[in-house]
Amino acid sequence: MDYAALDTKAQEILRGNDRGTYTVPTFGLYPYQWNWDSAFAAWGFSTFDVDRAWVEIETLFSGQWPNGMVPHILFHQDDPGYYPGPDVWATEGKGPIPSSGITQPAVAATFARKTWERNKGKGEAHVRALFPMMKAWHAWFMAWRAVDGAIVVTHPWEAGRDNCADWDSAMAMIEPSGVGEYTRRDTSHVDASMRPTKADYDRYIWLVQRGRRLGWDDAAMAEDRPFAVADPTLTFILMRANRDLAHIAEALGEDRSEIDSWTRTLENGAETLRNPDTGVFDAINLRSGEHTGHVTSASFLCWYARLDDPRMGAELAKSFASCRYPVPSLALSSPDFDGMRYWRGPTWAIMNAMIAMGLKDMGYENEATHLRSATRDLIAEHGFAEYFHPDNGQPAGGGTFTWTAAVWLAWASPNAEGF
């Protein structure tokens, strides 16, 4: 395998998706700046153009709302190829740039720290400027999304796992009446069998319409939430990000105590996500109070959050044994598993990178190495796709994908420095 050629290809993908000050996830399907995609893009850029990496994160925070929220999409310029666009979200007056009204997993502080580690001297000025913005975002999460110490998803897109099985019971409780006619754009770029269903989409849009009706006001939206799921993705990722932000605070000579108190709150909250019947971390539909019972790739982010857990170790061994290219976004043993449908089975390189980062940090070298080589083979054999079938590796969704290329450059490539 010509890994050097793949390194070059990955750089070309980042350059090709670069729109100057931000990077699109992929041409066509996702024509704007997405929040967590950008943090991964920065990590990828940091391997060959660290200045561009800083620009990526800074552009993301240039869209931060005064309340601290960092939107999940920034619509820097109109593009008719995506639905729902800025006119549907209608967030005018809420933030400096047209944007969506929800957020995404808080990976930015973690990858800002990684970028700084590659750019020790010059990076300090960037991190110093970003620090209060990152802190304000985390504070917003703690104020508006922490319920019993776990972080709650109020729209399926907020956790970045759009149609995962963890939302099914909560989605079924929504009656999307009055949603009206609309034209999806995603299925004009990608085969419908690889995308969320129409029933899902009606509810996604219905929830956007509700936010718009309430003027995207945090307090109004927190009342009587029609969709509220306590989620391992947002909880574990924010926990990890708080630890990295506290580290940054200390390195800058800033006070870290408030950030540490958030981490403690989330440590307690994370325990509520442990399913009492199975011992595995999953999600809770807060409207019914029930655990979802699904083993997803987000369950395995516990080590990334620095929670050690032998029971999860046993579960990970099962996941590794279940397919050629772990970690599947839903266990293959689940009746809901669908190997090509987005977050209902496929393997995603970013999830693998975060899971492996956690394993490595917690001393599970063998598991981290296994995941790295499986991800390397997956990308080397099947390309820089958005996601992949966990067993046969078939590439799916968008091609020439920014975060897959970034993960390759920063971690999966044999020439990568790794974590």
Per annotation, catalytic residue among 56, 166, 244, 386: 386
Binder of ligand GLC out of 6, 23, 33, 36 (CB under 6 A) = 36
User: Shortest gap between Cβ of 223 and ligand GLC (angstroms)?
Assistant: 27
User: Shortest gap between Cβ of 66 and ligand GLC (angstroms)?
Assistant: 24
Residue type, 68: G
Binder of ligand GLC out of 30, 75, 111, 216 (CB under 6 A) = 30
User: Shortest gap between Cβ of 36 and ligand GLC (angstroms)?
Assistant: 6
Cβ proximity to ligand GLC, 115 vs 233, nearer residue:
233
User: Shortest gap between Cβ of 38 and ligand GLC (angstroms)?
Assistant: 9
Q: Which stretch binds ligand GLC (CB under 6 A): 28-36, 79-87, 288-296, 375-383?
A: 28-36
Which positions from 173 through 212 interact with ligand GLC, judged by CB under 6 A? none
Binding track over 137-176 against ligand GLC, x by CB under 6 A: -----------------------x-x--------------
Cβ proximity to ligand GLC, 305 vs 351, nearer residue:
351
Tokens, residue 218:
């945090």
167-185 in b/e form (b: 16+ CB < 10 A) is bbbbbeebebeebeeeeeb
Cβ proximity to ligand GLC, 25 vs 123, nearer residue:
25
Binding of ligand GLC at residue 37 (CB under 6 A)? Answer: yes
Q: Which stretch binds ligand GLC (CB under 6 A): 33-41, 222-230, 236-244, 278-286?
A: 33-41
Size of interface with ligand GLC, in residues (CB under 6 A): 7
Q: How far is Cα 387 from Cα 197, in angstroms, rounded to an integer?
A: 17
Let me know if 386 is a catalytic residue.
Answer: yes
User: Shortest gap between Cβ of 25 and ligand GLC (angstroms)?
Assistant: 3
> What is Dmax (Cα atoms) for the chain?
55
Let me know if 308 is a catalytic residue.
Answer: no
Cβ proximity to ligand GLC, 302 vs 349, nearer residue:
349
User: Shortest gap between Cβ of 245 and ligand GLC (angstroms)?
Assistant: 21
Binding of ligand GLC at residue 18 (CB under 6 A)? Answer: no
Binding of ligand GLC at residue 384 (CB under 6 A)? Answer: no
Per annotation, catalytic residue among 162, 200, 231, 367: 162
Taking each helix axis from N to C terminus, what angle separates 3-17 and 365-382, rounded to the nearest 10 degrees?
Answer: 80
Binder of ligand GLC out of 25, 95, 345, 346 (CB under 6 A) = 25
Q: Which stretch binds ligand GLC (CB under 6 A): 31-39, 62-70, 319-327, 355-363?
A: 31-39
Binding of ligand GLC at residue 34 (CB under 6 A)? Answer: yes
Question: Where along the sequence are the contacts to ligand GLC (CB under 6 A)?
Answer: 25, 30, 34, 36-37, 160, 162
Give catalytic residue positions: 162, 386
